[in-house]
Structure 1
Amino acid sequence: MEDRRLWLIDAGYLFNAQKTVSPYYNFDYLKLKEKLKEFGEIWRTYYLNSTSSPPSDTQDSFHKWLKCGSPAGPGIITKLYQLKSSPIRDEYCRDCQKKVTLVCPTDRNHTLLRTQQKGVDAGLVTLALTNINNYDTLILSSGDGDLIDAVEYLTENGKRFELLVFKYGVSTDLQSRADKIHWINDFADEVKRCD
């Protein structure tokens, strides 16, 4: 019987973690998917990310390319969430062990904003659970330990769990639950984007 594999991608994680290979390193999603297919066919792939509203032309073109089928693109289902901005007035200082006021150096009346990715973790969990009867192995490209409860539920219900990640920022809880870890750093040259 064929092992049906679902690959879920936290794009923010992969984008930030790829710089652990080198500051100018970028991987190619098509090459990465082809490399992953060397270990077995992939039933379905989802790419989840947060973008500004509206997305830039470059982001829009990239997301359209992700959806293109082979050989033009990797044929990845793309789910985008809006980046959330919230005002920030203070932050906790670890050394002082108290909150300190943040002020714009240009004008203290300026409003400082924190931009955060929202919705991606919930989207990953939702896809993993709603498709539970459609796959045997979950391949996760995320380092977020907040996903551990969902991963434990899946593995306790007979699903295999693999990670496809860089050697950076990966929760040890996720690592300890993985049946297999594909370290992208180990084959980084094979999946490098050529500009």
Structure 2
Amino acid sequence: MAGKTVWIVDGAYLYSYGKGRPNGVDYLKLKNELEAATGEAIYESYYLNSTPDPATDAWDGFHTWLKSAPPRGPKMRVQLYKLKDLHLKCPRCENHFDRRVQKGVDVGIATLIIRLAVQGVYDRLILTAGDGDFEDAISYIKSGLHKEFWLNGAQNSLSADLQSYADHVLWLDGMVPAIDK
């Protein structure tokens, strides 16, 4: 299918994958690999994640780099959400634990997938994420709007539910070392 391609990245998912690599993942190199796989330039790219408030200088620098155009950066639109505090109690030991977790990122990704499809911004979506929670949004753009769906992720963390909708699965594992920093 010819047309415009949009790439949407779940930042926490790709960060988690990159932590398992010696130097992490280079988003510009990954974008180049995705463009080579599709045979065309990516029309728009989006990065969604949560960030601490206030963000650190390192995170601010990374997000600025993501927005930078090639050859310097991957030219992505960055949408950041706040972290929320989750208070947990261990049922066995009665200890209390606090943990910071994402708030709103998955809903933001699902909304973006549908909004851009309905607006006719893309004919093909590449989603770098592994979460099966996106299944309803993907099902709608595939069956209701007849969009092409390509899935990008790691073999050990990619939802089978999402794989079942994919026109193509682009395995991160098969792109190494081309996407390494």
Q: Compare 61-70 and 33-42 and name the one that shifted more.
A: 33-42
- Segments of 5+ residues of structure 2 without an aligned counterpart are none
Tell me the SS of whatever aligns to 1:33: helix
Shift of the 189–165 alpha-carbon distance from structure 1 to 2, 3 Å rule, reads: same
CA offset digits 1:12-52 (Å, max 9, x no partner): 011112345x4x24110111111111122211100001111
1:163 equivalent in alignment to 2:151: yes
| Aligned counterparts of 1:161 and 1:49: Cα–Cα separation in 2 | 21
Shift of the 153–53 alpha-carbon distance from structure 1 to 2, 3 Å rule, reads: same
1:123 equivalent in alignment to 2:108: yes
Quote how far apart the aligned CAs of 1:162 are. 0.6
Q: How many residues align?
A: 176
Corresponding position of 1:75: 75
| Aligned counterparts of 1:130 and 1:53: Cα–Cα separation in 2 | 27
Corresponding position of 1:27: 25
Corresponding position of 2:4: 4
CA offset digits 1:55-89 (Å, max 9, x no partner): 11100100001001111111100011111112222
Stretches of 4+ aligned residues off by more than 6 angstroms: none
Query: Which AA in structure 2 matches 1:28?
Result: D
1:136 equivalent in alignment to 2:123: yes
Tell me the SS of whatever aligns to 1:129: helix
Corresponding position of 1:15: 15
- Segments of 5+ residues of structure 1 without an aligned counterpart are 91-98, 104-110
Corresponding position of 1:100: 92
Quote how far apart the aligned CAs of 1:102 are. 4.2
Match among 145, 148, 172 for residue 160 of structure 2: 172
Q: Compare 183-192 and 81-90 and name the one that shifted more.
A: 81-90
Of all paired residues, the percent bearing the same amino acid is 38
CA offset digits 1:84-109 (Å, max 9, x no partner): 1122223xxxxxxxx33442xxxxxx
Query: Which AA in structure 1 matches 2:28?
Result: L
Corresponding position of 2:176: 188
| Aligned counterparts of 1:183 and 1:177: Cα–Cα separation in 2 | 15
Match among 139, 151, 155 for residue 138 of structure 2: 151
| Aligned counterparts of 1:25 and 1:167: Cα–Cα separation in 2 | 19
Shift of the 61–55 alpha-carbon distance from structure 1 to 2, 3 Å rule, reads: same
1:57 equivalent in alignment to 2:44: no
Tell me the SS of whatever aligns to 1:100: coil
Tell me the SS of whatever aligns to 1:112: strand
Shift of the 57–126 alpha-carbon distance from structure 1 to 2, 3 Å rule, reads: same
Could you tell me whether the CA contact under 8 Å between 1:27 and 1:188 is conserved in 2? no
Larger Rg computed on CA atoms: 1
